[in-house]
Structures are given as structure tokens and as C-alpha cells.
Amino acid sequence: MNLNLQGKRALVCGSTQGLGKACALALADLGASVILFARDADRLEGVMSELNNETGQQHHALVADFTNPAQVKQVLSEYVAATGPIQVVVNNTGGPAPGPAHTADPGEFTAAFDLHLISNHNIVQCLLQGMKDSGYGRIINVISTSVKQPLTGLGVSNTIRGAVASWAKTLSNELGPFGITVNNVLPGATKTARLEAILQGKAKKQNKTVSDIEESDKAAIPLRRFGEAEEFASAVAFLASPAASYITGINLPVDGGRTGSL
């Protein structure tokens, strides 16, 4: 099985912590030169120091605020013009605040649309010609199992994640003739700072302890545990590799079997 990414460059968004950081580490372990992309320069430098460079990879870090899609596009387009093609992108951005859809301010939907779909779209447009020229392209979007089964209390997120999933499926049809694959990876309950915040929010709302909420949530997962960020990153790294060259247009849950649909 060919998992070798030596000679490939991979852009990982939201890579200062959690799933994004784990994906960056996994891709570097497969030999890719990784470009970290997030808004916190200090934390980016910290992750840079952890990346594997045993095969002489050249890792870099880019700084932009994903709530500003124009800034994301400018920073990335200038970088690509100066340094050359990037063959792999992991689109990953923190989710919108929780809450029901029917009470959400319309501006919350607009902001989330810019943060997720528009930023993702700008990134792909910046990288697409380089992927075509390289004869290799992997577009991987970190979204949510809500695209298969809406999650209670995440109204804005459910809505926007669904839009991203449909955008990605459309892209997979359009870019398939160029050998570029487009896939979505759907994290379930994974041990990250975001999960901690969700558990604390549930505990407060239900007047229970965090431990009680954890046990209840784990009971709904067939594997009876939360996932590790590294387990999620392994799925992303596989889809980025040559071994996954005939997989495109899919939604891949990495959720311990929690999602109640095929």
C-alpha cells in the first residue's frame, strides 16, 4: 500500500490544536512538507517544532483569520505564487456556536457560511491550478456527522456543514477528470478542546456533572468511548495518500459507529 507523501506539499487549516494539529503531524509522518495555516502565530510556531522532518521536508506556517475570507485568499495566493504548487489541502475550521436553528440570528448563518464554505472555496481556487499541473490533488474537508444526521442543539452548524458537503460532492464530479479527489471526513465525539466545551455546556444546561454527561454520551457510541485525534488524522492521511486514488465524493464518518445511518 502506497502511503508515501514525500515530494508532496500539504496545507492544513486550523492546525494549532485538536484535529487540525493531529492531521498536520500525520501528514508530516508520511513525508509531506506541511504548511500550517491558522490565526495564532505563536501557536503555529509551537506546532512547527513538532513536525517530522526526517526526510528533509520544508515546513512553513501561514497566518490569517478565517473569519476574513479575503485575507485567507490573499495570504495563500501570495504564498503559492512565491513557493509553488500545493497538492493536498485539509480544510478545517472550528464550528459555529451551539444553539437551536430557530432562534439563531440570520447573521450567524452568514458568518458561518463565510468561515466555512467561502474560505474553503477561496482556498481551493488558489490551489487548483497547481494540483492540475502536478497531476496530483487531494481536497479533504473536515466537517461533521451532522451531514448524515443533524445534531441536536447545533442548528447553524448543521445547516452550514450540509452546504459544505454538497459543495464538496459537486467539486468531486467536476474535478474527477483531472485526477483530483474531494472527500469529507466527519468527526464524531473526539477528545479535543471543542468536545470539552460541548460537554461542559451540556452539563450546565442539564444541571449535571461533566462526568455524567460523558458517560451518557459514550453509551450512545457503539465502541463506548470517545475518539482520539490521532485516529481521526489517520483517516485523513489515508485519503491524502496515493493509496486512496480511487476514492472521491464520499462522507467518511470517524465516529465509533455513533451515526445512525448508513
Each residue of 27-60: pLDDT tens digit? Answer: 999 999 999 999 999 999 999 999 988 888 999 9
Axis-axis angle for helices 106-113, 155-175 (nearest 10):
30
- Backbone phi, psi, residue 94, to 5°: -60, 145
Mean pLDDT over residues 247-259, rounded? 97
pLDDT greater than 90 at residue 194: no
- C-alpha of 137 from chain center: 16
Domain coordinates in residue numbering, the chain: 9-188+228-254, 192-226
Confidence of residue 94 (pLDDT cuts 50, 70, 90): confident
- Which residue(s) pair with 185 in the sheet? 142, 252
Q: How far apart are CA 8 and CA 25, in angstroms?
A: 14
Amino acid at 223: L
Amino acid at 190: T
Cβ(240)–Cβ(5) below 8 Å: yes
What integer pLDDT is reported at residue 201 of this predicted model?
A: 86
- Model pTM score: 0.96
Amino acid at 173: N
In the chain the beta strands, taken as DSSP E runs, fall at 9-13, 33-38, 60-63, 88-91, 137-142, 180-187, 251-254
Cβ(135)–Cβ(245) below 8 Å: no
Q: In Å, how far are 62, 82, 91 from 45, measured between CA atoms?
A: 10, 21, 20
Cβ(144)–Cβ(187) below 8 Å: yes
Q: What is the dihedral of CA 120, 260, 151, 187, to 10 degrees?
A: -40
Mean pLDDT over residues 70-83, rounded? 97
Each residue of 151-161: pLDDT tens digit? Answer: 988 999 999 99
Each residue of 196-216: pLDDT tens digit? Answer: 988 998 899 899 999 999 999
SS3 (DSSP) at 74: helix
Residue 247 burial by CB count (10 A; 0-12/13-18/19+): exposed, middle or buried?
middle
What integer pLDDT is reported at residue 97 of this predicted model?
A: 86
Q: How far apart are CA 48 and CA 246, in angstroms?
A: 31
Q: How far apart are CA 66 and CA 34, in angstroms?
A: 19
Taking alpha carbons only, the member of 15, 10, 22 closest to residue 230 is 22
Q: How far apart are CA 225 and CA 219, in angstroms?
A: 8
Quickly list DSSP for 172-211: HHHHGGGTEEEEEEEE-SBSSHHHHHHHHHHHHHHT--HH
Domain spanning 9-188+228-254, CATH class: alpha beta
Cα angle vertex 141, ends 126, 156, to 5°? 110
